[in-house]
Amino acid sequence: MEVYRDRVVYVETNRLIAYRGGSIELNTLKAYVEGLRVCKDGCWAIVSQQGDVDRSRMEMDLKMVEAGLGDCGGIAEARLFRGRVELGRSDIDVETLVREVRELCGEAKALGVSKCEIVVNVKSILKAIEREDGERAEELRNVAEIEVGLAGVAPSGRPSYGSSFRASILWNPQDLTKLVDNAMQQALDVLRKSGAAKPLSIYMIGRTTVVLDPIATAALFHEVSHMLDPTYGGGVKRIGVQIGPPELEVYDDPKAVESPAIRFFDDECVVTGRRHLIEDGRIVDLHHTRNTAKIYGSEPGSAYGLFSCPVPFHTTLVVKTGDWRENEILEDTQRGIYVEGASMAVLEAGYIRIVPEVAYVVERGELKEAIRVKNVKIPIAKLRTINAISKTHKLRVSYEKNWLVAEIAPMIRVEGYVE
């Protein structure tokens, strides 16, 4: 029987600064959670308490839960992390930040924005895992998350909206005001472009060439990443499946320093490392926990879930860049649409659906008018039609359940459907 035991402590402090239509909020929230975990042959028994912890009660609860465990296929051997990691700092200047968000919304209203909301959440997160052999892994993470939401009325009289989400490790707290300003500029840009968008012509509906900017590409491959989860019901399970062209390479880089999702050990205390997922367009590996790594004969290191059964997913998914300049991709496109940003992306039966923030008609290599596109659908089989990948890339940050993850991706051109 393969058995692993540990005690987990999770402490999260949130300093929330919000400006909402003239009102200002400044709140500090703190949560303390402690848990006990046992993994037997891949099956987990987990108990936890928040706040005042009754350890005797937890021990009794764990014995009760542990008695009902079955056999889930075992756990792979793993190199477990020990030591302490500190990411960023938490000493922010709240007074300067409050003044910054107030001034930014004031400037936005002077530009005709009717509603402005900025929320800055500075999180200090301590995660500690102490194993039964006495070894301990600890991470202190200081990360800032910025959300901006704007509403206005376009010259045409129709409502227009703009939003943005940014997250960053606070390596230098003085950079926080710059992050907030960048988030505001992005939201204003989306507001302006969406307000100028015209209805989609019926002649554009259907199959077409789609150029995705780096953020939209990142959203697309976030959904592709679900298919690389061996526990995902609709996922591709066969190593060697050709999913894209020979130029397509994708890997997970948990230690990417530019990513706020950076982590040196996963939620099973396994040391993280770069994992190659797609090479030459073929699936070569999947995300893995210790349990799925045992079943599939791979390496663990992708686990998420401290107080629930760990599941595998990426930390920072990287789509390797190509040799096209961004303007070359557009100039080489005779007719199609250009998608700038993604409000949402969803993996559905046989395809990935993207809701663009902004979209443009492309004709004879030039961007024409902005258009309102409801959905862009990229069938999984059409990923093989990717025929241009840019030299440049951008970072996208999002949440998968309650885990902060990231993608780094270039601009691509692919066949899809527009509606």
User: What is the per-residue pLDDT across 216-232, written as a single tens digit (0 to 9) for each?
Assistant: 999 999 999 999 999 88
Handedness of CA 113, 116, 122, 123 (dihedral sign): negative
Q: Which residue has the higher pLDDT, 276 or 157?
A: 276
- What the chain holds in terms of domains, given with CATH numbers, is 3-196 (3.30.2290.10), 202-418 (no CATH)
Mean pLDDT of all residues belonging to the chain: 95
Both tokens assigned to 377:
């659908």
Contacts of 30 (CB under 8 A, 6+ apart): 11, 12, 13, 14
The length of the chain is 419
Q: How far apart are CA 102 and CA 189, in angstroms?
A: 19
The model's pLDDT over 270-286, given as tens digits with 9 standing for 90+, comes to 999 999 999 999 999 99
Q: Are 109 and 77 in contact (CB under 8 A)?
A: no
- Nearby residues of 289 by Cβ (< 8 Å), 6 or more positions away: 268, 300, 302, 303, 310, 311, 312
At 138 the three-state DSSP class reads: strand
**382: closest CA among 333, 418, 329?**
418
CA angle 222, 224, 230 (to 5 degrees): 110
Task: Assign 311 to helix, strand or coil.
Answer: strand
Q: Say which residue the tokens 């007719």 belong to.
A: 335
**Which amino acid appears at position 376 of this protein?**
V
What pLDDT shows up at residue 236? 56
* CA separation for the pair 35, 48 (Å, rounded): 4
Give Cα 264 distance to the centre of its chain.
17
Counts of helices then strands in the chain (DSSP H, E):
6, 21
Backbone angles phi, psi at 217, to 5 degrees: -60, -40
**pLDDT category of residue 338 using cuts at 50, 70 and 90:** very high
366, HSE (Cβ side, Cα atoms, 13 Å): 3
Residue 207 has pLDDT above 80, yes or no: yes
Mention every residue, 6+ apart, whose C-beta is less than 8 A from residue 389: 247, 248, 319, 320, 321, 322, 323, 324, 410, 411, 412
pLDDT tens figures, 366-383: 999 999 999 999 999 999
242 within 8 A of 310, measured Cβ to Cβ: no
Nearest CA to 164 out of 359, 340, 377 is that of 340
Q: What is the pTM of this model?
A: 0.96
Yes or no: say if 260 and 167 are a contact pair by the CB < 8 Å rule: yes
Q: What are phi and psi of 226, to 5 degrees?
A: -60, -35
Task: Please state the rounded mean pLDDT for residues 63-83.
Answer: 96
pLDDT at 80 over 70: yes
Q: Name residue 166's amino acid.
A: R
- pLDDT of 264 higher than 90: yes
Query: Which letter, b or e, does each residue of 245-267 get, where b requires 16 or more Cβ atoms within 10 Å of its Cβ?
Result: eeebbbbbbbebeebbbbbbbbb
Q: How high is the pLDDT of residue 202?
A: 83
Closest C-alpha among 181, 183, 179, 178 to residue 165: 183
- pLDDT value of position 203: 77
SS3 state of residue 32: strand
Contact (CB, 8 A) for 209 and 339: no
Nearest partner of 365 among 215, 211, 193, judged by Cα:
211
Across the range 114-142, mean pLDDT stands at 98
> What is the rounded CA–CA span in Å between residue 51 and residue 28?
16
Q: Tens digits of per-residue pLDDT, 10-67?
A: 999 999 999 998 999 999 999 999 999 999 999 999 999 999 999 999 999 999 999 9
CA 191/CA 159 separation, integer angstroms: 10
Is 49 strand, coil or helix? strand
